[in-house]
Structure 1
Amino acid sequence: MRRRLIQSTLAVVLVVIAVFGVSLVIVETRTITESARERVESEAVRLASIVDSRLLVEEKVTAAVLRDQVTEDRYVVVRLPGRAPIEIGDKPEGDAISASASGEEGETVTVQEPRSSVTREVGRTLLIIGLVALLAVIAAVLLAVRQANRLASPLTDLAETAERLGSGDPRPRHRRYGVPELDRVADVLDSSAERIGRMLTAERRLAADASHQLRTPLTALSMRLEEITLTDDPETVKEEATIALAQVERLTDVVQRLLTNSRDPRTGSAVTFELDEVIQQQLAEWRPAYRSAGRAIVTSGKRHLRAVGTPGAVAQVLAALIENSLMHGGGTVALRTRVTGNQAVIEVTDEGPGVPADLGARIFERAISGHNSTGIGLAVARDLAEADGGRLEMLQAKPAVFGLFLSRTPPRKSQDDGRQTVR
């Protein structure tokens, strides 16, 4: 890349020098020639005036008298009526610039200047133009090298940063290069690094949660299977097997949710789905619990909204918010849907006292809870939302209003590997 930048810059400079240099040489050559011609003509007029003035006072006109008036390297011929021509200087050999002037007494003065003097002056001008062109080329090369290094070095650095991200090192470098376009790429890479770091952290946390959440159902299932192996009563076996199958179904659901939580977004699990279906599912699942608590859960807002994400993950986020309202909120819980820009928003709010001021800024941190709960629910919900390409925010503290933001842009296929990606 450095070589191409230097070559292209040098080529542009050479073209400019060729175009303007040739034009300048032509103009300067003509200017010098015309200037020499004007000087010779002026010399002839001046000498004719001197001859006139001497003839008027009847003084002799000789070569000795006029020699001091003639510029060096010029040849002058003065022709007087009835007299032999007066020659001053050496007659130039070859081509010469000549001019004549006539006086009032009938005399004629002819002045000649060797063209070699004009050629020397043109040569000096060409030398100056050549030196300026050479300095321009040197300056262009130095500037091209500087620009090439300024552009190529950051690109190499950005390539190394991208390679580090691909190798699993998500630490942002926060380097800027003073070039807006390259700084924009660096911003994107740093944002991607931070996002990848958050996703890896979320996966590690979810893996830790999995070991805790799966331990109890697996232990219970193991006990049921042991009961089956220790009895010969068919009815007992059937009863224990039925209970074990129910536990397997619940365990399967837990495993599915954990796999959904810890998924890689590049696997193509993000799809376009109907928000109404997920919301109605959550309402049906939580209404019995709210009814037992003497409370209600309702939905309102824009219908038939479609969003991009994983329905299971969205359901888990909503479940965490609904459970949080059941445990810590009060009154009727409302799920409202709306659209902002290119995002679909699901708001969950209740009529309770809201989030305490000392917890507001830390409500999504792990192990942060105001009522002796585990403090994992909202933290996991935010991780789920971010892993799914959305975000979860607390929009209002009193009464508490949480908003789940999901993209409405449909997924499209990547041209490189055919995997489904969300744009």
Structure 2
Amino acid sequence: MRRRLIQSTLAVVLVVIAVFGVSLVIVETRTISNSAQERVDSEALRLASIVDSRILGDENITAAVFKNQVADQRYAVIRIPGRAPIEVGTEPTGDVIHSTAKGEEGETVTVEEPRSSVTREVGRTLLIIGAVALLAIVAAVLLAVRQANRLASPLTDLAETAERLGSGDPRPRHKRYGVPELDRVADVLDGSAERIARMLTAERRLAADASHQLRTPLTALSMRLEEITLTDDPDTVKEEATIALTQVERLTDVVERLLTNARDPRTGSAVSFDLDEVIKQQLEEWRPAYRSAGRAIVSSGKRHLRAVGTPGAVAQVLAALIENSLMHGGGTVALRTRVTGNQAVVEVTDEGPGVPTDLGARIFERTISGRNSTGIGLAVARDLAEADGGRLEMLQGQPPVFGLFLSRTPLKRPPTTEEDGPTVR
């Protein structure tokens, strides 16, 4: 492209120079020739006038008298009736410019000038025109190179930006070039880069969330299947298989929930459900893991509570809290239910050291963890709780107490954060 721009600019300049240069040469050549002829005519008339005045004054008319009256490189012949011709200067050879004038006394004056003087003057004029044309060509080349670089360099940058986007580097450059069309292309590429960055972030987040959220159901399912392989009691096999099928359904719900959150994290499918059933399901699912660790998990508090939310999402939130207590806590884990205002609260606590004081509320941020874990579980749990209008909070750091707040009546408008604060029992 750079070469095409330079070539096209030079072609335009050369055409302009050719058209106007040839016209200027023709005009200047004619002007110089006409000017030379006019000078010779004027010289002949002037000499004829001098001859007339000398004849009338009966003065001498000789070549010496007219020597200083004739310009250099010119030749003059004065013919007076009854006298010999008087020659002034050297007669030129070759092509000449001549003019003849007649005086009032019958004399004639002929002046000649070699045409070579006109040729030399035309040559000097052509040299000046050629120098100006050469300067114009040089200036055009410099301007074409500058303009080509101004247009080609941004295109090269834009091509590199597009290549970076294709290679998975979605960082926008926010670089503009002062050319509206190129700046528009840069705006589109930067917008695409930002969208691609958001898409990649969402994909990475989905992968991390899926890895974290699916690990626990798969581990529990694996434990159930191991118990089935270790027993010969048909009733036990049937019971464990039934629980395993329930866990498979939960696993399917986890996958669907993750995909839904990936599309729109604020999309919920809240319904009124029995909170006791979700808590009972979690206790049955986690008891084998706690028995293996030599610990216990119990529930207490108000019974027969109904809450508004997505049962699968609530189960995932509680599973994240129970898993954190298993991994990072100690002693018995207790799930307590209570009512505050129009909300049902599920508190999860254990007898471990709790959350480090330097973390505080940052415990719900992604990648924040106090025990070298992924730092994803609590962040995902809070997102799941908020998707259905609830909220997840850390009520106490040491010993740890986490509270899941769920509305007891369907919400007619988006929930606000100005709710009655929970109390810790």
User: In the alignment, is residue 99 of structure 1 matched against residue 89 of structure 2?
Assistant: no
Alpha-carbon offset, residue 4 of structure 1 = 3.4
Give 1:182's aligned residue.
Answer: 182
Please give the alpha-carbon distance, in whole angstroms, between the structure 1 residues aligned to 2:78 and 2:190.
89
Give 2:117's aligned residue.
Answer: 117
Write out per-residue CA displacement over residues 380-400 of structure 1, whole angstroms, 9 at most, x where no aligned residue. 99xxxxxxxxxxxxxxxxx86
Give 2:172's aligned residue.
Answer: 172
Write out per-residue CA displacement over residues 271-320 of structure 1, whole angstroms, 9 at most, x where no aligned residue. xxxxxxxxxxx99x54657xx9999xxxxxxxxxxxxxxxxxxxx9xxxx
1:59 to 1:207, Cα distance in 2 relative to 1, 3 A = same
Please give the alpha-carbon distance, in whole angstroms, between the structure 1 residues aligned to 2:199 and 2:21.
61
Which amino acid is the alignment partner of residue 145 of structure 1? Answer: V
More displaced stretch, 139-148 vs 92-101 = 139-148
Unaligned runs of 5+ in 1: 264-281, 296-315, 317-329, 331-364, 382-398, 403-423
1:89 to 1:293, Cα distance in 2 relative to 1, 3 A = farther
Please give the alpha-carbon distance, in whole angstroms, between the structure 2 residues aligned to 1:168 and 1:262.
20
SS at match of 2:78: strand
Q: Assess if the C-alpha contact under 8 Å between 2:272 and 2:307 holds in 1.
A: no
Alpha-carbon offset, residue 378 of structure 1 = 10
Q: Which has the larger radius of gyration?
A: 2
Alpha-carbon offset, residue 91 of structure 1 = 1.7
Unaligned runs of 5+ in 2: 274-304, 314-341, 343-364, 368-378, 389-412, 417-425
Please give the alpha-carbon distance, in whole angstroms, between the structure 2 residues aligned to 1:215 and 1:9.
67
Give 1:52's aligned residue.
Answer: 52
Q: Assess if the C-alpha contact under 8 Å between 2:209 and 2:380 holds in 1.
A: no
Q: Assess if the C-alpha contact under 8 Å between 2:164 and 2:170 holds in 1.
A: yes
Give 2:338's aligned residue.
Answer: none
1:90 to 1:243, Cα distance in 2 relative to 1, 3 A = same
Please give the alpha-carbon distance, in whole angstroms, between the structure 1 residues aligned to 2:113 and 2:181.
62
Alpha-carbon offset, residue 120 of structure 1 = 0.2
Q: Report 1:12-411 matches (<5 A).
A: 12-222=12-222, 224-226=224-226, 228-229=228-229, 241=241, 244-245=244-245, 247-259=247-259, 286=270, 375-376=382-383
Which amino acid is the alignment partner of residue 27 of structure 1? Answer: V
Please give the alpha-carbon distance, in whole angstroms, between the structure 2 residues aligned to 1:254 and 1:294.
20
Which amino acid is the alignment partner of residue 47 of structure 1? Answer: L
* TM-score, with structure 1 as normaliser: 0.58
Alpha-carbon offset, residue 90 of structure 1 = 1.5
Which amino acid is the alignment partner of residue 111 of structure 1? Answer: V
SS at match of 2:76: strand
Please provide the CA RMSD for this pair: 4.2
1:378 to 1:76, Cα distance in 2 relative to 1, 3 A = farther
Q: Assess if the C-alpha contact under 8 Å between 1:207 and 1:262 holds in 2.
A: no
Alpha-carbon offset, residue 150 of structure 1 = 3.3
Write out per-residue CA displacement over residues 310-336 of structure 1, whole angstroms, 9 at most, x where no aligned residue. xxxxxx9xxxxxxxxxxxxx9xxxxxx
Alpha-carbon offset, residue 141 of structure 1 = 2.4
Aligned residues: 298
Percent identity, aligned pairs only?
77
Which amino acid is the alignment partner of residue 93 of structure 1? Answer: T
Write out per-residue CA displacement over residues 91-116 of structure 1, whole angstroms, 9 at most, x where no aligned residue. 22111111222222222222211110
SS at match of 1:109: strand
Give 1:9's aligned residue.
Answer: 9
Please give the alpha-carbon distance, in whole angstroms, between the structure 1 residues aligned to 2:57 and 2:50.
11
Please give the alpha-carbon distance, in whole angstroms, between the structure 1 residues aligned to 2:70 and 2:82.
23
Q: Assess if the C-alpha contact under 8 Å between 1:206 and 1:380 holds in 2.
A: no
Which amino acid is the alignment partner of residue 383 of structure 2? Answer: I
* TM-score, with structure 2 as normaliser: 0.58
Write out per-residue CA displacement over residues 171-202 of structure 1, whole angstroms, 9 at most, x where no aligned residue. 33333344443333333333333333332222
Give 2:370's aligned residue.
Answer: none
Which amino acid is the alignment partner of residue 102 of structure 2? Answer: S
Q: Assess if the C-alpha contact under 8 Å between 2:62 and 2:86 holds in 1.
A: yes
More displaced stretch, 251-260 vs 116-125 = 251-260
Alpha-carbon offset, residue 65 of structure 1 = 1.8
